[in-house]
Structure 1
Amino acid sequence: MKIPLKWLQEYVDIALSSSDLANKLTMAGTEVKGMQVIGGDWENIVVGQIIAIKPHPNADRLSLPTIDLDTEQHTVVCGAPNLRLGDKVAFACVGAQLIDGHTGQVFRLKSAKIRGVMSSGMVCSEKELGISDRHEEIMVLPAEAPVGTPLADYLGDVIFDLDITPNRPDCLCVIGIAREIAALTGQSLSLPGVSYEETTSPIDQQISVKIAAPDLCPRYCASLITGVKVGESPRWLQQRLLACGLRPISNIVDITNYVMLEYGQPLHAFDYDKIRGKGIIVRRAAEGEAVVTLDGVERVLSADMLVIADKAGVVAIAGVMGGTNSEVTQGTTSILLEAASFNPASIHYTGRRLQLPSEACMRFERGIRPELTLPALKRATQLIVQLAGGEAAKGVVDVYPGKRDQEPIMLSTGKVKTFLGVEVSLDQIVGALTSLGFDCKKGDSASEVWVTAPYWRSDIHLAVDLVEEVARIIGYDKIPATMLSQPLPRQNPEPVLSLKQKAGRILTGYGFQEVITYSLTSLERLNKLLPESHPLEPMLLHMANPMTTEQEYLRPNLRANLLAAFSANRRHEDSSIRLFELGKVYLPR
């Protein structure tokens, strides 16, 4: 997962250098496998403002913009169609290193005479700066960009490429990583304020939601925004998505992706006017039911897949991809915004069966908590109202059949010492856990504390999970390496394992080579072991979903696959070949 440093700095003060921060995160279990420095080679590139535009005397498609750099002004030749008086731009002076917009090659900018006019500098596109592949227009900076400031200071960033372990879906978002940094550096976390005006028309009078499969959808939330205008996202939002590896599409879709990256909760936007019957039903698909997904492909569903449907049919494959029959387009004016929680195994199965991997699917299948839905929904609703106009209906829909209370876990200083081998005071334990958002209450004794995990953590189930959190925040490098206090217990190997090892050594000593074949075999291969008049005994165990006819049955003996290996290898050996295998066979009970 890619996360920009500047985005993190909006939620937590970071005084460490990029390399020190990467090391600290890695040592705490969130591996930073790479860093990309944006703007590291932007020397001689500054923020400028267009103060004049004149036509080129010898070319109709070229212009001569004059760029104010605060301390000096430059008039250069430019062919971009989006030059506008007063715009802030990225201006490259002679000597700057850029990327050729046509060839993609890196070059050093020099003065040049273009159609008879000398040009010493360049107004840059995003591609020439290495930000994106856009080259048709120059990059227009926000109006608040300070003229004369080096572009690296204004737009430069460091992108951390993180390798998130499967048990930490809470770290698949910017706030999750900011929360880790705050705990590791002793800083406080500052979350964005969420508020927006609502109309007087209640949402429950305009849309209904029914969960017919609560085992696969423990929570479903929705908001309604009317009067929106679908269009292009602001430049800052597009650049933030591009930095994280996502392609900007439209303001509505970009906002859902932005909030997913920010909070870790996937969202989906429906065209409200296309929801038939103004009702959402979360149900299992009917066997053979079909839907055309947003990629234009018709998907045939099975009865164990979860879908989002209206009163006429499927409008989305839950947690995987929406359908074209409810897609947000340029003509959409009303948005039904979905934030839901789905069963991880169901989403994993559906995504793999339909071959539709996605950022949303990846988060759902790791088990994000149902409590994330409402905060993310309100944040996305706020941004849609701000960036796409419109009005939010009063309230939100919140159907929550799978609500469960979080059970506290008792942790003691003795248990921490047992696992870590070092004394940790109760104050240190409480301090480490509280910094991560855990709720700590005094226990029955002075060495015990009752700990409740925060709503965003789905990986905390046992006391040992809490001990790991304490160790991460204190620092694994702070735990001293010591010898074991007691000798290792005497090993008592299994007799079968000893026999297997002894047999293997003896056969190897006689010139045999050990092979390991598949545990699956075919009926044809097994029949070759017996005369035609003899049926196979005992009864074979058949695979429910065999990959091929060559691997259709669990092997009842080792001979069939061993002889096949012998036959395949004999033609490559000039001398004799001796093979043996030690392995399991599978017989019915």
Structure 2
Amino acid sequence: MTISYNWLSEYLPISEVGMAEILAPEKLAKILTSIGLEVESMERHERVKGGLQGLVIGEVLTCEPHPNADKLKITTVNTGEPAPLQIVCGAANVAAGQKVVVATVGTTIYPATGEPLTMRVAKIRGVESYGMICAEDEIGLGTSHDGILVLPENLVPGMPAADYFKPYSDWVYEIGLTPNRMDAMSHFGVAKDVCAYLSHHHREVRPVSPFTDTWKADNQSLPIKVEIENTESCRRYAGVSITGVIVKESPQWLKDKLVSIGQRPINNIVDITNFILHETGQPLHAFDAAAIIGNTVIVKNLPEGTAFTTLDEKERKLGADDLMICNAREGMCIAGVFGGLKSGVKENTRAIFLESAWFNPVSIRKTSVRHGLRTDAATRFEKGVDISNTVNVLKRAALMIKEIAGGQIASDIVDVYPQPLPKTEVALKNHYLKKLSGKNYHPDKVKRILTALGFEIVKEGLDELLVAVPYSKPDISIPADIVEEIVRIDGLDNIAIPSSITISPAVDALGAKEAWKDKMANYLVGQGFAEILTNSITSSKYFDEATLATTVKMINNLSAELDVLRPSMLETGLETIAYNINRKNNHLRLFEFGKTYAVDAAGVYQEPEHLCLYLTGKQGEDGWRARASQLDLYAAKGVVSALTALCGLTDLRFTRPDEGVLLLEFYHGKQLLGTLEEVSRKKLQAFDLRQDVYFIDIQLTALLKAAGKQKIVYKEVNKFPAMHRDLAMVVDSVTSYEAMEAVVHKLKLPRLKNMQLFDVFESDKLGAGKKSVAISFTFMDDEKTLTDKEVDAMVAKLVQGLEKELGAEIRK
């Protein structure tokens, strides 16, 4: 939410004694933050860059031709100083006796285009120049460069140019509103909060109301009837006709206000409705009265699929739930969301019908999301607007239009309000206030705060206060909401921090699971991985029809790109990889804990947890001693083995279910723990990736279940030395290392502690379809030192088994 300091000040009692200092821009920012309207930034806004600082009014005393240039002139200019300045000027229209704008030496000017320029003493064609006589584009006042600015003769030399032109400047606050603070989505709403704070902490004040009691219709020449068919979606609708308007550019003061908060001025009618929106929080809509066929406005729903062209010239298919503002023949506007092309105000519009209404927040939100129209009006309506202010706002807007756009108010206010909405009443007990806030409040202080915020005291008891909630605060419905209002106006800093807190210890049922996750995360970070967190909502375009058949689809997706819950974590991870690689971060090892989602049948959903890892690029950086190794399928397999070993699972089994793709499944016993794959070229191309990516998908629940069954057994560190033997053998090229492990394990040698592959060599000299494999074996006895004879005997069994089972040929 963007708030202008100048605009906000119009509703604050700054003119009262002592208030100007209290409400200075910096101090006001602190007040706003203290009452829950957190000021995220405070920036200077200037219509003219630099605010014309340093520029002065000058009088040209003399103007002579330059001796060395036909198009230049030498002038002397009175700038209010004891001695006139000599300035070389190239403008054709400069002449003696003119009042002009002068940039003296040391002044920085900000041209309409280009970079700022600081004036220095210059020698132009041999003549010294002590400043510049300015054109409007050279100082940011406009775009014309036809000649220097010539000002009225009555101006006094030396007068600051800013005092004459009065360029608009302001302080602009960016406020981080919480979703429940609809009441603060306007300048007047913020002013009411600030005045409540001042009334509590200083002296009682009231905001300066923008509403007046000067309302009166000029005639009844254009009465327009209003009918509400859907009273659930529209509880109140008011309107008024204005004839004889002239649609044109808005006055400068109005444009300045809108531009300061980031709004683009369009024309006086539209600008006034935008002004009222940001002043009061009430959206308005202006119709071209000529488009209201039958002089009747009907609020209703149209049939499903009805075509409607909106102001952006796009044809949209309406839903049956979309509330529409219609004339006697067709729809004119999507209620509370976006206007229609036919009924919009145009340059030739001479009569308008101005709408102010209350629309159901749920209905507006559904329509806004369905059509992807997140307008300012929809944002207000979907949070709930002040239904009691509908007519007041309409009157103010009509009077502004009459003043700025001309014309006459051509009807009385039409106000259709079938079932007036009662105020919400909330009871607050004193002991509950103390319990929730941690502070004792005097009942009179509580009443003063609530009254200042617009609450009405309905009933007062010994330990209870019954209040009626103002219509401007539709989010307040329970006692805790009232406590929040009291605490934020009184100040969170005014609540004492206790020296001790008594709590009951909680039992964390998820403690073991979270501990395992922390253990794995810490290990991966230590190995150079970085944790990521991607969006569980993703795009359906990433998946084929078979996958989408069981995918959970979003009903109220905020964009076309985010319409399903992810059935796989690969795609969201690839988005992160693509983002990094596009920024030259090519070597990545990432991991993420998350869920995927699927629907088995109506209302039957699955959301298994995963630990996913992504590897691409190199493992480390190239150095002068060695090149970094490329991350590949074996590196990924090593990560899987290390992670499962960390969980106590050492007997991992890898299988390849399909020879056509680089995909491995890994099991503990018969339990599938996950998959490891090299991402396909087709999938990489979908994300514009040109380097290999390896993806590990671990089923977290299955892994932790298996890990939980492992028993931790302590074994004394062996004090006897290990003995090593290396075997090199020639085997068929198709023989896997896993097959060699299986043969060795089948021999059941209890003193064989480890085997490690350390070399693979392939050559035609070994024979067709052959390869050489070298494995290191480690032997150890827990009770004694092994002898060479004992180790040789075990090696002989190994040789015999490998030769028999695999046809291995031991290399001597």
Question: Please, what TM-score do these two structures have when normalized by structure 1?
Answer: 0.78
Question: Does residue 4 in structure 1 map to residue 11 in structure 2?
Answer: no
Look up the equivalent residue of 1:301 and give its one-letter code.
Answer: L
In structure 2, which of residues 267, 275, 278 is the aligned counterpart of residue 261 of structure 1? 278
Instruction: State the partner residue of 2:207.
Output: 189
For residues 59 and 455 of structure 1, the distance between their equivalents in structure 2, rounded to whole angstroms, comes to 73
Instruction: State the partner residue of 1:481.
Output: 497
SS of corresponding position for 2:564: coil
Instruction: State the partner residue of 2:110.
Output: 99
- Alpha-carbon offset, residue 185 of structure 1: 2.2
Q: 1:351 to 1:574 in 2, by over 3 A?
A: same
Look up the equivalent residue of 2:21 and give its one-letter code.
Answer: A
CA contact (8 A) 2:51 2:167 kept: no
- Alpha-carbon offset, residue 566 of structure 1: 11
Question: Does residue 452 in structure 1 map to residue 468 in structure 2?
Answer: yes
Look up the equivalent residue of 1:2 and give its one-letter code.
Answer: T
Q: Which range is displaced more, 215-224 or 351-360?
A: 351-360
Look up the equivalent residue of 2:244 and give its one-letter code.
Answer: G
Map 1:188-337 onto structure 2 (within 5 A): 188-194=206-212, 195-201=214-220, 206-337=223-354
CA contact (8 A) 1:169 1:368 kept: yes
Q: Which range is displaced more, 473-482 or 14-23?
A: 14-23
Per-residue CA distance 1:440-495 (angstroms, 9 max, x = gap): 245132x433222222111211111111111111111111101456x31242455x
Instruction: State the partner residue of 2:53.
Output: 44
CA contact (8 A) 1:515 1:581 kept: no
Q: 1:575 to 1:99 in 2, by over 3 A?
A: same
For residues 294 and 39 of structure 2, the distance between their equivalents in structure 1, rounded to whole angstroms, comes to 48
For residues 366 and 73 of structure 1, the distance between their equivalents in structure 2, rounded to whole angstroms, comes to 63
Q: 1:41 to 1:311 in 2, by over 3 A?
A: same
For residues 235 and 175 of structure 1, the distance between their equivalents in structure 2, rounded to whole angstroms, comes to 21
Instruction: State the partner residue of 1:359.
Output: 376
Question: Does residue 176 in structure 1 map to residue 184 in structure 2?
Answer: no
SS of corresponding position for 2:410: strand
- Alpha-carbon offset, residue 231 of structure 1: 0.9
Instruction: State the partner residue of 1:108.
Output: 118
Instruction: State the partner residue of 1:135.
Output: 143
Instruction: State the partner residue of 1:397.
Output: 414
Question: Does residue 122 in structure 1 map to residue 138 in structure 2?
Answer: no
Structure possessing the higher radius of gyration over alpha carbons: 2
Q: 1:468 to 1:548 in 2, by over 3 A?
A: closer
Instruction: State the partner residue of 1:531.
Output: none
Structure 1, gaps ≥5 residues long: 528-539, 584-589
- Alpha-carbon offset, residue 408 of structure 1: 2.5
SS of corresponding position for 1:325: coil
Look up the equivalent residue of 1:582 and give its one-letter code.
Answer: T
Question: Please, what TM-score do these two structures have when normalized by structure 2?
Answer: 0.58
- Alpha-carbon offset, residue 379 of structure 1: 0.9
- Alpha-carbon offset, residue 234 of structure 1: 0.6
Q: 1:212 to 1:126 in 2, by over 3 A?
A: farther
Q: Which range is displaced more, 551-560 or 330-339?
A: 551-560
SS of corresponding position for 1:283: strand
For residues 639 and 261 of structure 2, the distance between their equivalents in structure 1, rounded to whole angstroms, comes to 59
Per-residue CA distance 1:48-92 (angstroms, 9 max, x = gap): 69999x9x99999xxx9x9999999999979899xxxx99x9876
For residues 350 and 548 of structure 2, the distance between their equivalents in structure 1, rounded to whole angstroms, comes to 65
Identity between Structure 1 and Structure 2 (%): 31
Q: 1:234 to 1:73 in 2, by over 3 A?
A: farther
In structure 1, which of residues 470, 488, 496 is the aligned counterpart of residue 486 of structure 2? 470
For residues 250 and 81 of structure 2, the distance between their equivalents in structure 1, rounded to whole angstroms, comes to 29
Question: Does residue 158 in structure 1 map to residue 171 in structure 2?
Answer: yes
Per-residue CA distance 1:127-166 (angstroms, 9 max, x = gap): 827xxxx63599999xxx9994673887332111112211
Q: Which range is displaced more, 543-552 or 166-175?
A: 543-552
Map 1:403-414 onto structure 2 (within 5 A): 403-414=420-431
For residues 402 and 517 of structure 2, the distance between their equivalents in structure 1, rounded to whole angstroms, comes to 71
For residues 120 and 508 of structure 1, the distance between their equivalents in structure 2, rounded to whole angstroms, comes to 66
CA contact (8 A) 1:440 1:450 kept: yes
For residues 212 and 114 of structure 1, the distance between their equivalents in structure 2, rounded to whole angstroms, comes to 77
For residues 314 and 194 of structure 2, the distance between their equivalents in structure 1, rounded to whole angstroms, comes to 42
- Alpha-carbon offset, residue 109 of structure 1: 4.3
SS of corresponding position for 1:582: helix
Instruction: State the partner residue of 1:20.
Output: 27
Greater RCO, 1 or 2 (C-alpha within 8 Å, sep 6+): 1
Q: 1:479 to 1:332 in 2, by over 3 A?
A: same
CA contact (8 A) 1:127 1:135 kept: no
For residues 364 and 385 of structure 1, the distance between their equivalents in structure 2, rounded to whole angstroms, comes to 26
Q: How many residues align?
A: 547
SS of corresponding position for 1:209: strand
CA contact (8 A) 2:239 2:414 kept: yes
- Alpha-carbon offset, residue 270 of structure 1: 0.5
CA contact (8 A) 2:50 2:110 kept: no
For residues 517 and 185 of structure 2, the distance between their equivalents in structure 1, rounded to whole angstroms, comes to 47
Q: 1:506 to 1:482 in 2, by over 3 A?
A: closer
Look up the equivalent residue of 1:321 and give its one-letter code.
Answer: F
Structure 2, gaps ≥5 residues long: 15-19, 200-204, 556-562, 569-596, 617-631, 645-697, 703-812
- Alpha-carbon offset, residue 324 of structure 1: 1.2
- Alpha-carbon offset, residue 197 of structure 1: 3.6
Q: 1:93 to 1:301 in 2, by over 3 A?
A: farther
CA contact (8 A) 1:282 1:307 kept: yes
- Alpha-carbon offset, residue 275 of structure 1: 1.1
SS of corresponding position for 2:342: helix
CA contact (8 A) 2:288 2:349 kept: yes
SS of corresponding position for 1:575: helix
